[in-house]
A and B are shown apart, each in its own frame.
Chain A
Amino acid sequence: MRSFTGHFIKSLLFGSIGWSGVLLSSTPPALPIEEIEGGVYLFSGHQAMADKQNAGAIANIGFIVGNNCVAVIDSGGSPEQGKQLMAAVHSVTTKPVCYVINTHVHPDHILGNLAFKPQGAQFVGHQELPRAMALRGEHYLKTASRSLGFALPVEAIVMPDTVVRETLKIDLGGRLLILTAYPAAHTDNDLTVFDENTGTLWLSDLLFVKHVPVLDGSINGWLSVIDQLQKKQVNLAIPGHGAITHSLSQALEPEKRYLQTVRREIKEVIKQGGGMEMALEKVGLSEKEHWLLFEQFHKRTVSAAFAELEWEE
């Protein structure tokens, strides 16, 4: 009897240990990736809000492989997705991840950083990224634990080791990446990555395709960055959300129209003496049918734009 009980408890214990072993597994499945250009790999994020089902994997993230090194571009919406991205790296190359580049502070782009820390990767971001991480990090961890259903450690906020003021060149071995920092646009810490070898420009959230653009920086700044970007000749452009494109200038048009509409209509409200509440009710409604997640993000963009534009003379 005792031995039976012992065996029962043992199997119960090992059963649960085995189960928790699965939960805490350090070798998660590789993130599904696609080689969209020679040595440029992309995971296409789900066009959704971060939730338990997608586990925060809502942004386009990926990596570029050189002769000596790999550079990860955005690490995903959770440490778990970061691990899956690392597994994806290992599935195509044995070269080490030397750099993790964060294109901006938003949680769907940075919360996978922790997975690359033990490998000694160098973290790179915009010069204003550390401040933005300091001000928002704790809030993002709390929000993530509520929407994703699991708690994230404070260590999941990994600050950049190297910051980009204007531009920075990174050599992956026979492959130069040019990192460019922008003034406030989508956020106040946007960075793009240009791969010289393939003419691929990784724009991240400076370009939204189908997913409604989300303003968390400066509407005037973003519109002037769009003008700047539309003059660029690139072979391939990667948005932060939505499908990749060979025609950058054309792909930026809907986003430009949306932001111009929002700006124009807010200025009309201000001119009429209306406040933010009125702008939230009225502005940009003609754009609704053109975008995904309009309900979730549009008002946020209007309020941020209003708070900026009311300071214009």
Chain B
Amino acid sequence: MLKVQQRKSIYLLLILQLSLLSSSIVMAIEDDPDALWESSFKTHFFGDREIETKKPLVELKAPKRAANPALVPITIKSKIGQQPERYVKTIYLIIDKNPKPLAGKFSFTQESGQADLSMRIRINEYSKVRVIAELNDGSLSMASRFVKASGGCAAPVGSDIDKAMARLGKIKLFPRGENAPGEPLFTQFMVSHPNITGLQMDQLTRMYAPEHYVTKVDVSFNGKPVMSAETDISISENPSIGFYFVPSESGELKVMVKDSKGLTFTKVRKISAEN
């Protein structure tokens, strides 16, 4: 007869084997970059609505490998203009494997002219990045890219938090493109903000770096909304967003920023229609 101790050891070995087996199954599921989306996010965010993926009206440009997981530049382009009868109302940005997958929700109007965006995001690990465009008629379109995160000493946090804090709330707002009458003008917005996640190693983080990030960016031209963003911790430190608006007349471009501590920051820039 085997001693009890030995039996226990056999069971332990068996359990070990089984757990190795099941962890390889788990890994196989994790290897499918769309698994999370298909099994839960899709329904969670959009219920059973149909989403066009073969010929989406939205395009996503992202690097194959994130050289710096704290600063991954992406560009989102809409394939239709902002016409009264048909326009992009909302763009959702989802990073499947990030701690809070919904990175941002961006709303547009006809005054946007073109529902395109450029920004920098954080990518925690190998993950699908997806953008879903919702048109005014309620239809949905999705484009996605798989981005590999870099290893080593890279981390999805800013490099110089103190400097971002020292300038907290400082905003830059300036046109990047040529100003042609009636045409959408590409404009850059930047705000100095540490955008600290507060999520990692909760107990330690709360003590040394409580969460503090930008939650909302509202841009208007002469009082009419142009682009409005609800943002989360997946947006890089010192959030930087490029967007379009149509300067149909001379006036004031205004941006209002809100953060998780309830602080607000604003900046106004005069825009001349002629330029």
User: Which of chain B's residues have a CB closer than 8 A to the CB of A307?
Assistant: 71, 120, 159, 236-238
| CB contact under 8 A between A135 and B205, given known A9-B6, A16-B13, A307-B237 | yes
Question: Does B43 reach chain A (CB closer than 8 Å)?
Answer: no
Q: How far is the CA of A131 from the CA of B70 in the complex (A)?
A: 16
Question: Does B36 reach chain A (CB closer than 8 Å)?
Answer: no
Contact present for A187 and B159 (CB under 8 Å): yes
| CB contact under 8 A between A216 and B163, given known A10-B6, A276-B120 | no
Question: Does A303 reach chain B (CB closer than 8 Å)?
Answer: yes
Question: Does A226 reach chain B (CB closer than 8 Å)?
Answer: no
Question: Does B168 reach chain A (CB closer than 8 Å)?
Answer: no
Contact present for B68 and A136 (CB under 8 Å): no
Task: Report the nearest A residue to B67, measured CB to CB.
Answer: A299
Stretch at the interface among A60-68, A138-146, A194-202, A255-263: A138-146
Contact present for B160 and A218 (CB under 8 Å): yes
User: Which of chain A's residues have a CB closer than 8 A to the CB of B13?
Assistant: 13, 16
Contact with A276, one of B71, B125, B172, B204 (Cβ below 8 angstroms): B71
Contact present for B200 and A304 (CB under 8 Å): no
Task: Report the nearest B residue to A148, measured CB to CB.
Answer: B151
Task: Report the nearest A residue to B196, measured CB to CB.
Answer: A135
Task: Report the nearest A residue to B5, measured CB to CB.
Answer: A13
User: Which of chain B's residues have a CB closer than 8 A to the CB of A2?
Assistant: 1
Q: How far is the CA of A193 from the CA of B104 in the complex (A)?
A: 44
Contact with B201, one of A134, A188, A280, A308 (Cβ below 8 angstroms): A134
Max chain B Cβ within 10 angstroms of own Cβ: one of A134, A146, A276, A299: A134
Task: Report the nearest B residue to A278, measured CB to CB.
Answer: B73
User: Which of chain B's residues have a CB closer than 8 A to the CB of A298?
Assistant: 67
User: Which of chain B's residues have a CB closer than 8 A to the CB of A139?
Assistant: 124, 155-157, 200
**Chain A interfacial residues counted at CB < 8 A:** 55
Question: Does B49 reach chain A (CB closer than 8 Å)?
Answer: no
Contact present for B160 and A308 (CB under 8 Å): yes
Q: How far is the CA of A58 from the CA of B105 in the complex (A)?
A: 41
User: Which of chain B's residues have a CB closer than 8 A to the CB of A146?
Assistant: 125, 151
Interface bits B196-239 vs A (CB < 8 Å: 1, else 0): 11001100110111000000000000000000000000001110
Q: How far is the CA of A143 from the CA of B126 in the complex (A)?
A: 11
User: Which of chain A's residues have a CB closer than 8 A to the CB of B209?
Assistant: 131, 134-135
Question: Does A159 reach chain B (CB closer than 8 Å)?
Answer: yes
| CB contact under 8 A between A159 and B153, given known A6-B2, A217-B160, A218-B163 | no
Q: How far is the CA of A173 from the CA of B161 in the complex (A)?
A: 38
Contact present for A303 and B163 (CB under 8 Å): no
Those of A1-32 within 8 Å (CB) of chain B: 2, 6, 9-10, 13, 16-17
The DSSP consensus for interface residues of chain A is helix
Contact present for A214 and B153 (CB under 8 Å): yes
Q: How far is the CA of A2 from the CA of B1 in the complex (A)?
A: 8
Question: Does B10 reach chain A (CB closer than 8 Å)?
Answer: yes
Those of B162-197 within 8 Å (CB) of chain A: 162-163, 167, 172, 176, 190, 192, 196-197
Contact present for B208 and A300 (CB under 8 Å): no
User: Which of chain A's residues have a CB closer than 8 A to the CB of B151?
Assistant: 49-50, 143, 146-147
Question: Does A184 reach chain B (CB closer than 8 Å)?
Answer: yes
Contact present for A136 and B10 (CB under 8 Å): no
Question: Does A170 reach chain B (CB closer than 8 Å)?
Answer: no
Max chain A Cβ within 10 angstroms of own Cβ: one of B75, B124, B150, B200: B200
User: Which of chain B's residues have a CB closer than 8 A to the CB of A135?
Assistant: 155, 157, 161, 196-197, 200-201, 205, 208-209
How far is the CB of A141 from the nearest CB of chain B, in Å? 9
| CB contact under 8 A between A49 and B152, given known A134-B208, A276-B73, A311-B167 | yes
User: Which of chain B's residues have a CB closer than 8 A to the CB of A273?
Assistant: 176
Q: How far is the CA of A221 from the CA of B238 in the complex (A)?
A: 18
Contact present for A134 and B204 (CB under 8 Å): yes
Q: How far is the CA of A300 from the CA of B172 in the complex (A)?
A: 24
Question: Does B250 reach chain A (CB closer than 8 Å)?
Answer: no
| CB contact under 8 A between A303 and B67, given known A188-B162, A296-B152 | yes
How far is the CB of B154 from the nearest CB of chain A, in Å? 6
Q: How far is the CA of A221 from the CA of B118 in the complex (A)?
A: 28
Question: Does A34 reach chain B (CB closer than 8 Å)?
Answer: no
User: Which of chain A's residues have a CB closer than 8 A to the CB of B154?
Assistant: 143, 216, 300
Question: Does A133 reach chain B (CB closer than 8 Å)?
Answer: yes
Query: Can you list 13 residue pairs at the A/B interface with Cβ under 8 Å?
Result: A2-B1, A13-B9, A13-B10, A134-B208, A135-B197, A135-B208, A136-B157, A139-B200, A142-B124, A276-B120, A300-B67, A300-B150, A303-B71
Q: Which 7 residue pairs across A and B have the least CB separation, nearest first?
A: A299-B67, A106-B153, A134-B204, A131-B208, A136-B155, A300-B68, A303-B68
Contact surface of A with B, Cβ cutoff 8 Å: 2, 6, 9-10, 13, 16-17, 49-50, 106-108, 128, 130-131, 133-140, 142-143, 146-147, 154, 157, 159, 184, 187-188, 214-218, 221, 273, 275-277, 280, 296, 298-300, 302-304, 307-308, 310-311
